[in-house]
A and B are shown apart, each in its own frame.
Chain A
């Protein structure tokens, strides 16, 4: 299943947040969205998953999601959004219960996703007992449990320290290599974008417009540290972002 944005514009009251945004998310690929703070990345992601409606333009779903997908458009949130009163397995079974999945079938799914995210030992832990990186892995496990057609991730790693971020990025790459998933990945971090993105959509400052789309052909598994090709792309992205970021910074002062 592909997703497409068709001439999406939006304003909150007098503030024009984004203008005429068009791009598509091909199935099996990770599309990264980068842009200066306040350019509407999070808003765009809410449009993509149907949590909010754009003022103009359309968000399209092309093709039907696979029949075994319980929740085709699934979010992974920046602040994890785990229920603090449920254990790790409780947080995962939460999203299965409403689909009438219980008993052995739920048990099998929970065990599977916990194994894939290396959390099998923490099944009965409460979120307060987990580190930030583990919490986000629980959130990833929860997303995997519903077998999403597209994962919508809003700065999923930005609440974590840089070592944990590296580890989780490796985890995501591992998950993708074993079973390619479709994802829209919003980030501030250019290094994350060039590591994970098959395509990178650069947005301008508010009102957000598509400034450039950069495609990276190198397979995810082969992208390592200090890769000269990736570095060149990252430098290019930075040159695009630099003036936008500086201008956006100035504007925030005016607001």
Chain B
């Protein structure tokens, strides 16, 4: 301000005033991170690198043939499976069991979860029951299911259904609890019917939680698929793996395990697509 009154002074004044700017350091950047992005190419590259390392290791003798099979041998086994048509003989029953069992378990789980989320008495009555069932290793119950539902498909469906049911219940009622109450009050204040509030506010609001619960449940479903096929199944990826395991046939074991991994990746990819469509409204 006073500079303007002294015409002579500003030259030196501005020179000294600008000095800190010239010698200044940029403010260090501290933001960034915590926002994982999807990089589609990185996942496959990691796979390829790991497999290439294993191939090199087994060929060079760093990894003995007894520890791990050679990836190329596993691939050859897989190709044989494909050519003989045995792949489909194993895959089709497995996929059916997985689809039927997890459809039953997840549907029931979502319905029970919503009921727990909405009704006081259902919550009081069922939450302890679910908490009691959840930690039971479902595999331990397989013999029981065989007695109840028969050695055929019934026991397998039951095992997968029960295994996917409990995590689905827990995820769903958590998601219902998390639905914004002000939205529900809003619905009531506009005289929406109870059914409308559930269908148009509670369900869509709980959808993110339900879908992430579905991810966990379906992964558990794949795990239990193998368990279910341990007893009384001639065909199925699980039966194939178990048989290979008894014979210590590592190539076949790994070929079977690879099929399960691919199934897992496929399920997860499909769910990702569903999420992208259904949850487009999310910020």
Contact = CB atoms under 8 A, between A and B. Distances in A.
Does B associate with A? yes
Interface centre among B186, B196, B201, B207 (most CB of A within 10 A): B186
Interface string B162-195: 0000000000000000000011011011111100
B192 A98 contact: yes
B283 interface: yes
Given A51-B189, A126-B281, A128-B283, A83 B204 contact: yes
Interface centre among A49, A75, A98 (most CB of B within 10 A): A98
A51 B190 CA distance: 11
A95 interface: yes
Given A83-B183, A84-B281, A98 B204 contact: no
B281 A95 contact: no
A205 B191 CA distance: 32
B189 A74 contact: yes
Contact of B182 (A73, A77, A86, A94): A77
Given A77-B182, A126-B281, A98 B188 contact: no
Contact of A85 (B182, B193, B281): B281
A97 B205 CA distance: 19
B201 A98 contact: no
A51 B193 CA distance: 14
Q: Which size bracket describes the interface of A in this complex?
A: 20 to 34
Contact of B183 (A49, A51, A73, A81): A81
A146 interface: yes
A77 B186 contact: yes
Interface in A55-76: 70-71, 73-75
A79 interface: yes
Interface string B268-283: 0000000000001111
A95 B192 contact: yes
Contacts of B205: 85
Contacts of A97: 196, 200
A77 B204 CA distance: 21
Interface string A98-136: 100000000000000000000000000011100000000
Nearest to B180: A81
Given A79-B182, A81-B182, A49 B189 contact: yes
A95 B283 contact: no
Given A81-B182, A81-B183, A128-B283, A98 B189 contact: no
Contacts of B182: 77, 79, 81
Given A77-B182, A83-B200, A94-B200, A71 B281 contact: no
Contacts, number: 52
Interface string A131-151: 000000000001000100000
Contact of B185 (A51, A142, A146): A51
Contacts of B281: 84-86, 126-128
A127 B192 CA distance: 21
Given A51-B185, A77-B182, A97-B196, A85 B204 contact: yes
Contacts of B186: 75, 77, 81
A85 to B, nearest CB: 4
B185 A84 contact: no
Contacts of A98: 190-193, 196
A75 B196 contact: no
Contacts of B190: 71, 74, 94-95, 98, 142, 146
Contacts of A81: 182-183, 185-186
Nearest to A52: B185
Interface string A80-93: 01011110000000
Interface of A: 49, 51, 70-71, 73-75, 77, 79, 81, 83-86, 94-95, 97-98, 126-128, 142, 146
Interface of B: 182-183, 185-186, 188-193, 196, 200-201, 204-205, 207, 280-283
Given A97-B196, A146-B190, 4 more contacts: A51-B189, A83-B200, A94-B190, A98-B192
28 contacts: A49-B189, A51-B185, A51-B189, A71-B189, A73-B189, A74-B189, A75-B189, A77-B182, A79-B182, A81-B183, A81-B185, A81-B186, A83-B204, A84-B283, A85-B207, A86-B281, A94-B200, A95-B190, A95-B192, A98-B190, A98-B191, A98-B193, A98-B196, A126-B281, A127-B281, A128-B281, A128-B282, A142-B190
